[in-house]
Structure 1
Amino acid sequence: MHGGDLKLERYAGPLGDPGLFGIAPGDPVWRVHGHATGMLTGGFAALMLQSLHPLAMAGVDQHSDFRADPVGRLNGTVRFITTTTFGSSPAATEVIDLVRRIHTRVHGTAPDGRPYRADDPDLLTWVHTAEVRSFLAGHQTYAPRPLRLTPAECDAYYRQVAPVAEALGARNVPRTFLEVEHYLDRMRPQLHATAAALDSVRFLRRFGRTGRERLVAGLLTSASVGLIPDWARAELGIHRPAFVRTGWDRTLATAVGRTLQWGLGPSQIQAAARGRLAGAGERGVENTPST
């Protein structure tokens, strides 16, 4: 998922650095972004939901290499999320600055004739909100019940991730569960499935370099269908009965997720980040004058 070198130095130092947004172990964002099954299913759901914005989809369709290298595209997104969540302040600043520079080069004209820019603040708010709503839905569905967030923690999650979007240039970012749902309601008149959106969803539901990858991706993307709103499924032409989504897709995705989690083992990234954060106390002890 992360691809190649984990670059653990981004997470391990400098000792005592709190990270750009002060996120700590046990915080809602740490728990949500640290759960592999929820993030995978939520990530696929986010791509489906984001595709319904014609301008956002035009930018992806005309500039992204997701068809030629979907796994590489996935790796890049995962690296950004893990670095801004678990990384040091310098590492988080570096990846945010990189994405901002990339966004300045992504612009053009959508098929309906409207111009778009990836650094448009309102477009950034849409992409962020659709993404984090999907991540939270994935976590609340696939994390073990004792680890799921309370309503207050769901609000805290949205507050903790908002500064990342604002650092990228988003504005008026929703910061509570209700604000996110009201935002989606307000956006609905602007959302519809373009030809590019429908094509991207078809591609997403069957991508993979090997038969094994296609099987796992198919199971996870089918499960992600249950995480997007009913109206979004209808707009994308996805007809999957509720009993299939809950009785079949969810069961299979849970089993696949547990297998993936077992295969991944304890997170080296989170361990490095915990060591960096714990270093604040260690550094304080080292700097204390002896008596």
Structure 2
Amino acid sequence: MPLTSQERSADPVEALRRSLAGMLAARIAGPGGPAVRQRIVRARSGWFGPDRPIRRVHGDAAMFVGGLRALLLQSLHPLAIAAVTEHSGYRADPWGRLQRTGAFLAITTYGSAEDAQRAVDAVKAVHTRVHGAAPDGRTYRADDPHLLAWVHVAEVDSFLRCHQRYGAAPLTDQEADGYVADAAVVAEALGVIDPPVTTAQLAERIEAYRPELAGTPQARAAARFLLLNPPLPLPARAPYGVIAAAAVGSLPRWTRWPLRLPYLPISEATAVPVAGHALMRATRWVLASHEPLDTTTATREG
């Protein structure tokens, strides 16, 4: 029988869960989190119906793993990591960037159509101001459709693969295709031309980018920061270490050497999945103390 609100407030375990949920929400969603939440709660008609796969994927705790994997994979494109390094402020304000990206994903996935379009327009406005030159002399623009497409496919592949490995309810093959198609709606709105709409097309698109990818000093510096020097308090280091190990373990083997990441097949097949699943279950338990609402974190700059 469910506990009443009075019983929950008197239960020390429930009190701990609510305290942890509050701290996690404050860190991930930031001061603007409650406002975003209320906009989503009031939303009537958005881009995706309640039965769409994108809502399941983006509402699962596995997004913590997927988001980190996406950042590592995206960094392998020299122009993408140059733009991130020079314009995103991920070192100076990593939590602010995380909060903005989480808000973007939450609004476009669960918000009203009007709010979703406004969020997309805001990101596109930022992209028009992001341009420069990579260390190798090549120029980049954040609104370049080809570069946008790489960021998109790396992100979608990461979210989907980590959901299939660590999500509470992995998608069927048909649902996985549906997720890729759902994500393509947002990608097209952002300016991606002909985004993949099936998992097969997604795999083909990533393979097509491989000749352009490289482990640059900027990419390796970003990997070191994300994996070894995140701005976290001491108690959060161990859980984050599990997320980092799960993210690295889910990357393709061809990404490891360019980023100087270890490949430990025995650990990645045994200890890492066990720890990853345990942490994701614990995270879902903590987040369940909030009112039922799909929220998310990830890697799109807004």
TM-score by length of 1: 0.87
Give secondary structure in 2 for the equivalent of 1:174. coil
Query: What is aligned with 1:120?
Result: 144
Query: What is aligned with 2:233?
Result: 210
Measured after TM superposition, the shift of residue 264 of structure 1 is 1.4
Whether 1:69 and 2:93 are equivalent positions in the alignment is yes
5+ residue gaps, structure 2: 1-27, 296-302
Aligned partners of 2:213 and 2:206: how far apart in 1?
Answer: 10
Aligned length: 265
Kept in 2: contact 1:6–1:269 (CA 8 A) = no
- Aligned counterparts, 1:7-26, within 5 A: 7=35, 8-14=37-43, 17-19=44-46, 21=47, 23-26=48-51
The partner residue of 1:236 within 255, 259, 265 is 259
Aligned partners of 2:39 and 2:156: how far apart in 1?
Answer: 23
Query: What is aligned with 1:101?
Result: 125
Kept in 2: contact 1:208–1:217 (CA 8 A) = no
Give secondary structure in 2 for the equivalent of 1:172. coil
Kept in 1: contact 2:55–2:294 (CA 8 A) = no
Query: What is aligned with 1:245?
Result: 268
Measured after TM superposition, the shift of residue 213 of structure 1 is 2.4
Query: What is aligned with 1:81?
Result: 105
- Aligned counterparts, 1:1-291, within 5 A: 1-4=28-31, 5-7=33-35, 8-14=37-43, 17-19=44-46, 21=47, 23-36=48-61, 38-144=62-168, 147-206=169-228, 207-265=230-288, 268=291, 270=293
Kept in 2: contact 1:2–1:75 (CA 8 A) = yes
Aligned partners of 1:125 and 1:267: how far apart in 2?
Answer: 35
Aligned partners of 2:290 and 2:205: how far apart in 1?
Answer: 34
Measured after TM superposition, the shift of residue 245 of structure 1 is 1.3
In 2 relative to 1, CA 250–88 (structure 1 residues): closer, same or farther, beyond 3 Å?
same
Measured after TM superposition, the shift of residue 261 of structure 1 is 1.5
Measured after TM superposition, the shift of residue 226 of structure 1 is 1.7
How much identity, in percent, do the aligned residues show? 41
Alignment deviations for residues 135-166 of structure 1 (CA, whole Å, 9 cap, x no partner): 0011000123xx21111111111011101011
Alignment deviations for residues 2-54 of structure 1 (CA, whole Å, 9 cap, x no partner): 2233223321235xx320x2x12232111111101x10100000000000000
Deviates more, 1:242-251 or 1:105-114: 242-251
Kept in 2: contact 1:46–1:135 (CA 8 A) = yes
In 2 relative to 1, CA 6–241 (structure 1 residues): closer, same or farther, beyond 3 Å?
same
Alignment deviations for residues 72-111 of structure 1 (CA, whole Å, 9 cap, x no partner): 2111111111110011112111111111111111100001
Kept in 2: contact 1:59–1:108 (CA 8 A) = yes
5+ residue gaps, structure 1: 273-291
Aligned partners of 1:241 and 1:40: how far apart in 2?
Answer: 21
Aligned partners of 1:138 and 1:76: how far apart in 2?
Answer: 21
Aligned partners of 1:181 and 1:171: how far apart in 2?
Answer: 17
Kept in 2: contact 1:43–1:135 (CA 8 A) = yes
Measured after TM superposition, the shift of residue 63 of structure 1 is 0.7
TM-score by length of 2: 0.84
